Amino acid sequence: MGKGDRKTAKGKRYNSSYGNARRHAGTRAAAGADAPAARKTVARPAAKKAVAKKTVAKAG
């Protein structure tokens, strides 16, 4: 099941066609009827930044 399989979304993209496996964006019903629930944004912690190591000059 890959590019040549017309029954999968990947095959539909490869063949530039639409169908049950690959819905066309313009064929949706009324926005209120089948609209998916709004996505909830998840608060993620800030990414940890790598701390640069400080080099100390040796007196000599």
Q: What pLDDT digit, counting tens, does each position of 5-23 carry?
A: 888 888 888 888 888 887 8
Q: How far is CA 52 from CA 41, 42, 49, 57, in A?
A: 32, 30, 9, 16
Distance of CA 18 to the CA centre of its chain: 20
Q: Is 30 in contact with 36 (CB distance < 8 Å)?
A: no
pTM of structure? 0.35
- The DSSP secondary-structure symbol of 19 reads S
Rounded to whole angstroms, how far apart are CA atoms 41 and 54? 38
pLDDT tens-digit readout, 15-48: 888 888 878 777 655 445 555 566 677 777 777 7
- The DSSP secondary-structure symbol of 8 reads S
